[in-house]
A = this chain, B = another copy of it.
Amino acid sequence: MKVLVIGANGQIGSQLVTKLHDGGEHDVRAMVRKEEQKKAFEDKGVEAVLADLEGSVDEIAEAMKGCDAAVFAAGSGGSTGPDKTLLIDLDGAGKSVEAAEKAGVDRFLMVSAIQAHNRKNWSEKIRHYFAAKHYADRMLMNSSLNYTIVRPGGLENEPGTGKVSAGENLDRANIPREDVASVLAAAISNENTYRKGFDLVSGEHSIEDALNQLS
């Protein structure tokens, strides 16, 4: 499959692009916001495209053309305010879902947050962030797309271990961003992840086993 990575310059997105580019199973296209980011990917031999999540659905749809799958790995991050949470994490995701429908990109993977589906377990300090992720996920589930919603726990920068735990409802725990990227790469064409959402933390299972046992 040809896979568009949205938020390719982010911490999970950039690792996912590398894994897909090196892995050989899929082709990858990196979607970024700035010309210098695009050039940096192209210098490494990675196809890249410019589009702004604060732009129009048409602009994002154009960037997706010819892809078979899209992964939303973008986020406004911790250095901007909750206004950007609404415009990027919620509306950027919602527009990407609409763009995928428009461009005929049927497969869509969303990077969400652990327990985003379960209001009573939202982190008190960033409840507004969980609200944005919650509704982005619901818009995707209400769409016509073949979705997978990956809800990782607390993100770490340690190297990945390749050992994870995945399930409908998991206790809050951490996981290296590299393992999240590996799970996304493995989930793209794993049919047992189609039309499902799951929490994801570090654990005892290989990624393949963890995805195959999802119910």
A residues with a Cβ closer than 8 A to B are 56-57, 81-87, 90-91, 94-95, 119-120, 127-129, 131-132, 134-135, 138-139, 142
Given A56-B119, A56-B120, A81-B81: A86 and B138 interface contact (C-beta under 8 Å):
no
Given contacts A90-B90, A94-B135, 5 further A-B contacts (CB under 8 A): A83-B128, A86-B128, A87-B128, A91-B131, A135-B135
Shortest CB distance A28–B (Å): 28
Q: How many copies of the chain does the oligomer comprise?
A: 2
Distance between Cα atoms of A150 and B62 in the complex (Å): 33
Shortest CB distance A170–B (Å): 22
Chain B residues contacting A131 (CB-CB under 8 Å) are: 86-87, 90-91
Instruction: Determine which of B56, B86, B95, B134 lies in contact with A132 in the assembled complex, contact meaning CB atoms within 8 Å.
Output: B86
A127, A131, A132: which has the most chain B beta carbons within 10 Å?
Answer: A131
Distance between Cα atoms of A120 and B83 in the complex (Å): 17
Chain B residues contacting A56 (CB-CB under 8 Å) are: 119-120
Instruction: Determine which of B86, B120, B138, B139 lies in contact with A82 in the assembled complex, contact meaning CB atoms within 8 Å.
Output: B86
A90–B120 CB distance below 8 A: no
25 contacts between A and B (CB under 8 A): A56-B119, A56-B120, A57-B119, A81-B81, A82-B82, A82-B85, A82-B128, A83-B127, A83-B128, A85-B86, A86-B86, A86-B90, A86-B129, A86-B132, A87-B128, A90-B90, A90-B131, A90-B132, A91-B119, A91-B135, A94-B134, A94-B135, A95-B119, A135-B135, A138-B142
Chain B residues contacting A91 (CB-CB under 8 Å) are: 119, 131, 134-135
Shortest CB distance A174–B (Å): 24
Chain B residues contacting A135 (CB-CB under 8 Å) are: 90-91, 94, 135, 139
